[in-house]
Amino acid sequence: GAVVSQHPSRVICKSGTSVKIECRSLDFQATTMFWYRQFPKKSLMLMATSNEGSKATYEQGVEKDKFLINHASLTLSTLTVTSAHPEDSSFYICSARQPANYGYTFGSGTRLTVV
């Protein structure tokens, strides 16, 4: 079945540094990928829609200059958290839509801790 690989699974960084999270569709091409954020015991919140070859679409309240999204190929989208602060600590999840059946496949998530 369709697999989405997300890396790294865990990362700890210092305040003020930037962190890049990768999301790859391993056996299918994904023109559209999605990035979510999840706080403890809360549901997933959509941050942005990543479109291959064009700018990402951000949800209201999500700072596009802080959460940089690049979707340079049909199998890779990256989320860069710039100038990270402790409040950016969260669980980040990516998702890709399969062209064959329009189903959604999710990555395993990235636990970001900013110290």
Instruction: Provide φ and ψ at 28, rounded to 5°.
Output: -155, 160
CB 110 within 8 A of CB 8: yes
The partner residues of 36 in beta bridges, in order of sequence, read: 46, 93
Q: Which of 69, 79, 105, 114 binds another protein (CB under 8 A)?
A: 105
Which residues in the 73-92 window bind another protein by CB under 8 A?
A: 91
Give 37: exposed, middle or buried? Use CB within 10 Å, 0-12, 13-18, 19+.
buried
Amino acid at 82: T
CA–CA dist 8, 97 (Å, integer): 21
Radius of gyration, CA atoms only, the chain: 13
Using the minimum distance from each CB to another protein, give the nearer residue, 6 or 81.
6
Site string for another protein, 39-78 (x = CB under 8 A): ----xx-x--x-x---------------------------
Using the minimum distance from each CB to another protein, give the nearer residue, 16 or 104.
104
Give the nearest distance from C-beta 52 to another protein in angstroms. Answer: 11
Give the nearest distance from C-beta 23 to another protein in angstroms. Answer: 10
Residue pointed to by tokens 């999500």: 62
Chain contacts with another protein (rule: CB under 8 A):
4, 6, 31-32, 34, 36, 43-44, 46, 49, 51, 91, 93-95, 97, 102-109, 111
